[in-house]
Structures are given as structure tokens and as C-alpha cells.
């Protein structure tokens, strides 16, 4: 994300909007105004506006809003943007050159059926009235949870994603909008984060029921992770202290500390965490400004910035392969890698010049470790939702399966999360505001 100069002064340039990025032109001829931008201006509530009508289930309320499209002539077909990394000393270092080419987007090869397992979509679950399947989580072999966006419901499957049963209606119980993420605590219980209000939920019965552990002073709790020392960190969005912040608890939210990650940057999401050894941890920060990496070496009490990805809309997830740590960024659909525990970063792989990649998971097949990532190619006017796959520690990636329904592409939204829930089964959450949320169940041989 860059900045755009306008009559009102500098403002962040949202994904998909044309602007000038630190003196370089970043052009998208198909710029659109997203519902994320429209909703605050109109004051829409958690059941908000819709671009098309579908039943909102319990309330049966239908609201629509038509997006206005404006196309700009392409100013440049190729733009080289130097992605900068800021070290602890504050010096700027070139990390990599991200090349944008709307005319010929980055190509992702199809997965070779002789190299990778064959896969098929065996079920598509559409939770009524929910615009997004926001989170997915493996409980045990064949058992899983998903969390939805719109009325914050939790669904559970015990037959490897063939059928789903609602266990909790978060809208009715707490007025929440969505379930952002789940983790399993060291105490054996499951914890979840939510939006509007920003809660930490706990289930002691494998997702059958939930109770509130704490409410944060923010619009949303986002990423959540537990460190080796037992401390649980939860990232915040729009923290009421007007700083990029987290909450931290060392006693399962009996007591909570409210901790700024940065005192001087714009107030942003803390989207994800990567626990390191001992009390060290990385945090991915994004949305409402460029994507950034922060590091703490005292169990989340203090933080320093170790990386910045100028054109990334958000930092979505981390994963470790041997001695290297990878981070997934959205907007530019790019993986960055660190070989020094998050102190410095370089570009590892870009899938598309414009696109979205979500979470990641690993599974075993024929004695080999395979890694998968859900993604959305946004280089065309009609986005394509796919699952990407790698068998060489993330060095090369291939398109494994496109998420379709009855051979038709799923329109709108993004493929943002997945979970391996059985030895041969993966679930993928798709959606985002303007579409019907879906959970795809994939089975591979």
C-alpha cells in the first residue's frame, strides 16, 4: 500500500486504487471501491450492505448496494517498486524489486499429476446468510470447526467436512460479526478471536459451546498465538489507544495487558504471529498502511520493527521451513523469507502482481511433505480462487485446484484460510462481504 496525494492531503491508497507510491506510479485500470471503504461512510452495521441480495437467515433482512466502476487508462504497463526493509537502526535497505505487469501477469504452472496427488471437490457448504467462511480449524482426525462472517457463527463437522452443524450463534449471543481465528491452548481448550465486539472466546468442550474470556478495547481481535512460556497474544484492529496494539495474558485471560506494538506508526491490524524459541515472537501487521514485521524478545512486552513491505496490503500468516521463516502478504500475493529469525527479509516468490494469499498448512503424502496455500488471482476482472501446492519447502509453487461450483467459477471474495482435517482431506474458506460464504471440502488420493 502506498500513499495518494489529494486535496485533503496524504491518505493511504487501498488495494486496487490508483495512486503515486513514493514517486513511482502504481496503476490498476480496474480500480473499484470496496465495501470495506464504503461501510464506514454509511455507518452500516454488522449485517451491513450487500452488492447483491441473498437471505440473511435469522433476520431476513436484505440490503443492497451497487458498486460504481470507474476505469482509468493505463499509464504504465511495467513498474518496478523497490521494497524496503527497515532494520533496528532505522536504515533503509533494498529487499527486492517487485515487478508489476498488468499486460502479462505472473504465471503459476498447473500441478503435474505425476508429481502431486490428484484432488477433487467433494462438498461445498454454504452457511445461510453468511458472506464469508472466515476461519477453519482441525480439532482431531475428521473433526473440524469453521467460523463465519456476518453473524459470527461456529459450525462443526465430525465426518471430514461432509456435513456441518451450527454449535454457536455468535450474533445472538454476543452481537459479534465474525470469528477470525482459532487456536488450541496448552491447557487443551480452544480459543477464538472475533469482530465487533473484540472478544476472546474459549471452548472447553471441543467447540460445542463457548464463553467470553475477555473483551478488548478495539473493534476486533485478529491473530492469536501462544508462546512457549504460556503467554497468549492476540492482535487488535483499531485499538482504542490509537496505536497498533495487542493484548497479552499469561493466565488464560484472568488478567490482560494492553500493549502497543508501535507508538509512531499508523494504527493497524496485528494479523498474525510466529512464535520463535523461548520468549521470542514475530508479529505481522497490516491493513490501513503497508505490511510490516515486528519482533519481540520478551514474550510480547516490547516490540521493534524488522521489516516493511511497501505495497503489501496485509501480512496474513507465517510458516517455518527448517531454518527459514516465510511470511505471506496480500495485495501483491508475495512470499518473503527470513534466514535470521525475522531480522531481515527478502522476496522469495510472487504468485501474481495483484492478488491475495491466505493461511497455509502442511501434510504428508507418500512420505513427502507438501504445503498448500489458498489464494485469489486478482489480475483479471473476474478473480480466480485456487489452492497452491509445493513439495520443495516452498521454493516452487503450482496451481493444484481451482475452486469452482458445478464447473463455474466462484465470483468475488477471496480464498483466505484452510485446514488439513484428515489424512486425505482439506477444507478451504472462501468469501468476503459481497458474496455467499463457502467452505470447500477437498479430498486427495
Q: What is the pLDDT of residue 382?
A: 81
Nearest partner of 375 among 436, 319, 409, 330, judged by Cα:
330
Q: Span 300-314, mean pLDDT?
A: 95
Q: What is the DSSP string of 265-284?
A: SPP-EEEEEEE-STT-EEEE
Q: What is the pLDDT of residue 19?
A: 31
Nearest partner of 270 among 227, 230, 233, judged by Cα:
233
Determine the Cα angle at 222 with ends 389 and 378, to 5°.
45
Q: Calculate the CA 222 to chain-centre distance.
A: 9
Determine the Cα angle at 314 with ends 313 and 319, to 5°.
140
Cβ partners under 8 Å of residue 323, min gap 6: 339
**How far is Cα 65 from Cα 133, in angstroms, rounded to an integer?**
21
Locate the domains of the chain by residue range. 3-99, 106-444
In the structure, what pLDDT confidence band is assigned to residue 414 with cuts at 50, 70 and 90?
confident
Q: What is the DSSP string of 82-98?
A: EEEEE-TT--EEEEEEE
Query: Does position 16 have pLDDT exceeding 50, yes or no?
Result: no
**How far is Cα 328 from Cα 362, in angstroms, rounded to an integer?**
15
Cell numbers standing for residue 261: 506494538
Cell numbers standing for residue 163: 456435513
First-residue to last-residue Cα distance in the chain: 40
The 10s digit of each residue's pLDDT in 231-266 is 999 999 999 999 999 999 999 999 999 999 998 777
Burial class (CB in 10 A: 0-12, 13-18, 19+), 307: buried
CB 311 within 8 A of CB 332: yes
The 10s digit of each residue's pLDDT in 70-79 is 333 333 333 3
The 10s digit of each residue's pLDDT in 132-155 is 999 999 999 999 999 999 999 999
Cell numbers standing for residue 102: 498488468
Strands 398-402 vs 211-215: parallel, antiparallel or unpaired? unpaired
Q: Considering only residues 46 and 438, tell me which one the structure prediction assigns the higher pLDDT.
A: 438
CB 358 within 8 A of CB 414: yes
CB 87 within 8 A of CB 343: yes
Supply φ then ψ for residue 309, to 5 degrees: -120, 100
CB 293 within 8 A of CB 274: no
Any idea what DSSP says for residue 308?
E
Domain 106-444 has CATH 2.130.10.10: yes
Burial class (CB in 10 A: 0-12, 13-18, 19+), 182: buried
Cell numbers standing for residue 408: 463455474
Sheet (strand 314-321) strand order: 314-321, 324-330, 334-338, 346-350
The 10s digit of each residue's pLDDT in 223-236 is 999 999 999 999 99
Cell numbers standing for residue 314: 496485509
Q: What is the pLDDT of residue 58?
A: 37
Q: Calculate the CA 379 to chain-centre distance.
A: 19
Per the listing, cell 496448552 goes with 186
Full-model pTM: 0.78
Can you say whether residue 43 is alpha, beta or left, with left for phi > 0 and alpha for psi between -120 and 50 degrees? Answer: left
Query: Does position 24 have pLDDT exceeding 60, yes or no?
Result: no
- Average pLDDT of the chain is 80
Amino acid at each position: 500500500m502506498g500513499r495518494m496525494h489529494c486535496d485533503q492531503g496524504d491518505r493511504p491508497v487501498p488495494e486496487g486504487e490508483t495512486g503515486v507510491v513514493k514517486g513511482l506510479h502504481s496503476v490498476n485500470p480496474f480500480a473499484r471501491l470496496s465495501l470495506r471503504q464504503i461501510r464506514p461512510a454509511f455507518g452500516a452495521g454488522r449485517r451491513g450492505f450487500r452488492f447483491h441480495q441473498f437471505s440473511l437467515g435469522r433476520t431476513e433482512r436484505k440490503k443492497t448496494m451497487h458498486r460504481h466502476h470507474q476505469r482509468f487508462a493505463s499509464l504504465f504497463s511495467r513498474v518496478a517498486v523497490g521494497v524496503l526493509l527497515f532494520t533496528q537502526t532505522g536504515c533503509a535497505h533494498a529487499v527486492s524489486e517487485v515487478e508489476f505487469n498488468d499486460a502479462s501477469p505472473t504465471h503459476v504452472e498447473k500441478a503435474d499429476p505425476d508429481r502431486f496427488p490428484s484432488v477433487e471437490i467433494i462438498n461445498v457448504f454454504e452457511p445461510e446468510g453468511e458472506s464469508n467462511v472466515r476461519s477453519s480449524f482441525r480439532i482431531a482426525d475428521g473433526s473440524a470447526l469453521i467460523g463465519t462472517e456476518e453473524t459470527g457463527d461456529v459450525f462443526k463437522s465430525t465426518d471430514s467436512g461432509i456435513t456441518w452443524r451450527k454449535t454457536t450463534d455468535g450474533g445472538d449471543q454476543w452481537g459479534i460479526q465474525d470469528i477470525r481465528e482459532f487456536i488450541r491452548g496448552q491447557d487443551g481448550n480452544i480459543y477464538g478471536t472475533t469482530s465487533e465486539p473484540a472478544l476472546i472466546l474459549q471452548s472447553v468442550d471441543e467447540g460445542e459451546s463457548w464463553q467470553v474470556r475477555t473483551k478488548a478495547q478495539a473493534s476486533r481481535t485478529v491473530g492469536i498465538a501462544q508462546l512457549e512460556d504460556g503467554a497468549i497474544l492476540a492482535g487488535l484492529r483499531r485499538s482504542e489507544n490509537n496505536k497498533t496494539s495487542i493484548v497479552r495474558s499469561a493466565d488464560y485471560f484472568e488478567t490482560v495487558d494492553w500493549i502497543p506494538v508501535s507508538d509512531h506508526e499508523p494504527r493497524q491490524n496485528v494479523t498474525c504471529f510466529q512464535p520463535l524459541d523461548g520468549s521470542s515472537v514475530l508479529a505481522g501487521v497490516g491493513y490501513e498502511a503497508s505490511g510490516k514485521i515486528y519482533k519481540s524478545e520478551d514474550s510480547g512486552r516490547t516490540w521493534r520493527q524488522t521489516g516493511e513491505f511497501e505495497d503489501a496490503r496485509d501480512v496474513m500468516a507465517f510458516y517455518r521451513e527448517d531454518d527459514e521463516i516465510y511470511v505471506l502478504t496480500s495485495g501483491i500475493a508475495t512470499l518473503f523469507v527470513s534466514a535470521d529469525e525475522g531480522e531481515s527479509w527478502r522476496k522469495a516468490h510472487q504468485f501474481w502482481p495483484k492478488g491475495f494469499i491466505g493461511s497455509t498448512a502442511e501434510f504428508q503424502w507418500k512420505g513427502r511433505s507438501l504445503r498448500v496455500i489458498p489464494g485469489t488471482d486478482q489480475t483479471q476482472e473476474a478473480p480466480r480462487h485456487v489452492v497452491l501446492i509445493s513439495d520443495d519447502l516452498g521454493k516452487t509453487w503450482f496451481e493444484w485446484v481451482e475452486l469452482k461450483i458445478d464447473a463455474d467459477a466462484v465470483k468475488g471474495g477471496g480464498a483466505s484460510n484452510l485446514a488439513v482435517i484428515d489424512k486425505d482431506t482439506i477444507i478451504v474458506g472462501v468469501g468476503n462481504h459481497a458474496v455467499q460464504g463457502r467452505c470447500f471440502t477437498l479430498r486427495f488420493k
